[in-house]
Structure 1
């Protein structure tokens, strides 16, 4: 009789504990995954921020870079210059 109770009680207790701890374990795994994704996003933003800071520094101190940006992005030319656009062959 005691043996039968042990056979029933231990698996029942294991199943009960599984139902109690599995949702918490699942939530912990979900939070860990979210943390990894956020850390990756932070690293990407830090890299982008570093590149932007570098460009901002160039735009305030490097005359050649300022001229390059003005020519390429804004289409500014020097007096007497003519801009030619080369079209790709189809």
Structure 2
């Protein structure tokens, strides 16, 4: 059996420490990237969701403003109210009759 000298033991110990350090760093990086609920990829997914929800919020706010203006107009403008009632709901004035005609179909 050969006897190792102290230099060889130190090199061997350093090599083992480097390997262990590399393994620890490797698994730490894996954890940072793929940790469930906390990893980098989960973070990027949440960032994209924030962007999507912000855009949706802006669209809904614009729609809300549009509807508020429409409500105010319906409350104050009688002609607009009548127009909406006729077009959207098919309402008629007293003694009005609606005649619907079919468009003639072209013969081929």
Scaled to the shorter chain, the TM-score interval is 0.7 to 0.9
Relative contact order (alpha carbons < 8 A, sep ≥ 6): 1 or 2 greater?
A: 1
Task: Say what the alpha-carbon RMSD is for the aligned residues.
Answer: 2.3
Instruction: Point out where structure 2 has 5 or more consecutive residues left out of the alignment.
Output: 1-10
Instruction: Point out where structure 1 has 5 or more consecutive residues left out of the alignment.
Output: none
Aligned residues: 90
TM-score by length of 1: 0.77
Q: 2:83 aligns with which of 68, 74, 79?
A: 68
Shift of 1:44: 1.6
More helix by share: 1
Shift of 1:71: 1.2
**1:86–1:5 distance in 2 versus 1, CA, 3 Å:** farther
Q: 2:52 aligns with which of 33, 37, 59?
A: 37
